[in-house]
Amino acid sequence: MIIETFPVGMLQCNCTILGSEQTREAVVIDPGDDIPEVLARLKRLRLTPKYIIATHGHIDHVGGFKEIKDLTGAPLYLHRSDLFLYEALPMQAQLLGIAAPDPCAIDAHLDEGDELGFGEITLRVHHTPGHTPGSICFHEPGHDDGRLFAGDTLFMGSIGRTDLWGGSFEEIMDSLHRKVVTLPENTIVVPGHGPLTTIGREKRFNPFLRR
């Protein structure tokens, strides 16, 4: 498995390229910005994007959707419950004082239990509402050290804010306790922003998850 995670854009969203050594296919997770850099990395890694997916509809995670689709032809995936945010990208851009991307349709909707497969890799979709209504996490079970691409649901030492459009503190806590902390402790967490962590570390040190 080939994996590169790197921050993009003004808000330093963690974008990830996850690729198969067998088929040279890849998914790009959360291409919020800096698409030329994303494409340069794909080229250097000799990977072809098969899916473009986002953990939720905030502009720092989906701002590059149109540009990367135009340049690669790969389909765009999002959870249906965040379409209202995706359609409000001009409003989100205005709030941040940045240029809004042109509109571009989503190709398919992801939901709980969906699987995205390519080569030796399978990504499982978990619907984890709270930060936004359509927030999803992508779980790559791996062998004994799977990965969770958590978006803005979980950070090292913190959780996503719930005071934005459609956010809910009760929902994010329910999502975390039912679908996130139930994963194996050595699961590596790739959050939407900031450093990587593990489920075990967050269960011990994250003030929102300690019981």
Interface stretch with Zn ion, choices 57-65, 75-83, 140-148, 170-178 (CB under 5 A): 57-65
- Whichever of 47 and 136 has its CB closer to Zn ion, that residue is 136
41 contributes a contact to Zn ion by CB under 5 A: no
Torsion of CA 109, 111, 117, 120, to 10 degrees: 140
- Whichever of 58 and 139 has its CB closer to Zn ion, that residue is 58
147 contributes a contact to Zn ion by CB under 5 A: no
> What is the rounded end-to-end Cα distance, in angstroms, of the chain?
35
152 contributes a contact to Zn ion by CB under 5 A: yes
Interface stretch with Zn ion, choices 65-73, 117-125, 139-147, 148-156 (CB under 5 A): 148-156
- Whichever of 19 and 167 has its CB closer to Zn ion, that residue is 167
Contact 186, 143 (CB under 8 A): no
58 contributes a contact to Zn ion by CB under 5 A: yes
What is each CA distance from 187 to 22, 52, 102, in whole angstroms? Answer: 23, 23, 37
